[in-house]
Structure 1
C-alpha cells in the first residue's frame, strides 16, 4: 500500500523508508496518505498509531460520516479521478462526483500543515470552494475545523478521547490505554461497573453526542452540571447513569 503512494512524494523522499521519515509527524501523515490513496481509511484502533483519531474521524457520529470524511481527504489530496475509482470500488457509481469542480491538489507537504494545526486553511488555499462544493451538508465540518485547528503536539479536551472510547464499542475501560482510558474514567467509566450500567453510560454519551457539540459537553462536565443539562436534552436517561 505504502509503495504505491510513494510516487507522489518529493524526490528527496523517494528512496527513504516511510518509517524513517523525520519528524514523526511525517511518518503518521504518510500512513494516512497511503490509506486514502487506496480508497480506505483507518479504524478506531490502528496497530501503528491512532491515525483514525489524529485525522479527525473522531468528530463523526457514525460510519456514514466517516466515509464522507474519507471522500473529503481523497478529493483534496488526490482529486476527482481518485474519487471516481473509489466510487467504482464501493459499487456506488461515479455520478455523485460529476458536479465537483477540479482544483489544485494539496501535495504531500500537507503533513506540515497538519502538524501545525493548519490543515483546513491549507485545503482552502488549494481549493477556494472547499466547503461550498462539499456535497454532504449534514457532515459536521465545523467540528472537523475545530479538531484539526490544534497542533499535533497539543493536548485536546478529554471529550474527544471519550468519543474515541465510545467508537471502540465493546472495549472495556480496563482494556483501554493512555488518554482514552483516562477520559473514560473522567466521564464515569471504571472497572467495577457491571455490564448493564456500563452499557447505559455508553448509550447516554452516544445520544448526548448526537444532540450537542462535544465542546459544550466538556464545558458542562467541568462545571459539574452535565446530568442536569442532559436531562433537558434527552427524552430518557437510564437511572443507572
Structure 2
C-alpha cells in the first residue's frame, strides 16, 4: 500500500494508548496500525502550507516569504507574552490575532523529559501534551487571553524549565513527578495579574503512548538530505515516529514536505 501527501503534524485522539493519524488531502493513515510493519519514506517535493508552492520550507511548514508575512508565524506564536490583541493592537492581522489570542489559555506543567512549563489554548488540551510526548501533565492557571498566559510562563521560567530534551523523552528516561506539589510550589511566582486565575484543585492527566520499543540512541532522520528511508515502525511518541534501528522522524518538524509512504508487511 502506498500513500502520498504533504506532511502536517499528526492528528491525535486521547485514548489508552494515544491514537495517531497522518492526514493527507484525500486519505489518512492510523499510525498505530502500522506498528511492527516496515515503512518506506521518500521525499517528493516541497509544498508550502500557505502558498502551496514548491519552495524550500523555512520554518513551521511555510516558505521563507510566507514565514515573514502570515500571522500564524508571527513572534507572539512562540512568545505568547508578545501578544497585543487584548490592546486592540495589530501585529500582522488583527482579526486573526483576536480570534486566537482572545480565548481561554492554559499555563501547564508537563513531564516529558523533565518538568516544564508551557502555554496552550484551552481547546488544545490534552493535544499539546501529546505532541510534546508528556507522560503526565497538569493545568495550573486558566486565563482569558494569550498575553496573561505568556507573562505567567515568563515568570515561572525562572523556577522551572520551559524546554523538553527530545532524546530523553524518546528514550523514555523519565521519572514520575508529583505535579500537584510542583503546582503549589510555583504558585508564589505567578504574576499578580494572573494570580486570580490559579487553579486550586485538580489532578494530573496521565498519557500512554503506542511504543513497542524505545530507542537507546535516537538518531534523527533528515529526509530532505537522505531522500528516502526504510525501517520497521516500533513506536509513536510526541510527533516522532520511532524505528527499530534507533532512527526517529519528527513529523511536525517536516511539515510542508510532500512524501510517499510505502507500507510493507
TM-score band, normalised by shorter chain: under 0.3
* TM-score normalised by structure 1 residue count: 0.27
- Which one has more relative contact order, counting CA pairs under 8 Å at least 6 apart? 2
Relative to its length, the structure with more helix (as a share) is 1
| Larger relative strand fraction | 2
TM-score (normalised: structure 2): 0.25
